[in-house]
Amino acid sequence: MLFPKAKMTHASTYQGNRSEEGWLILDIGNMELEGVAKLYVDLNDVEAVKKQSKKSSDNVNNLKKLLGGE
């Protein structure tokens, strides 16, 4: 099964542990996976998800600065 990019997210911390590469989170909560033995994730999609996560984080930090936060 080719895993959909829309169901992937990236986190740089997990359970208080920070990782330089981070964690790829595959949201399989509402997916029908009966009979699936393997999930394939395109590494180009992983990079795109990481970039989107960083962009979102940068946007939050910029908003905090505009509102007078740290």
- What does the pLDDT look like over 27-63, one tens digit per residue? 888 888 888 877 777 778 888 888 887 787 787 888 8
| Number of domains the chain is built from | 1
| pLDDT score, position 70 | 66
Give the SS3 label for residue 32: coil
Using the structure block, give the residue that is written with the tokens 């795109």. Answer: 48
- Residue range(s) defining the domain that contains residue 16: 5-66
Question: Does 67 have pLDDT greater than 80?
Answer: yes
60 near 52, Cβ under 8 Å? no
Q: Please compute the mean of the pLDDT values over residues 6-24 and round it to a whole number.
A: 86
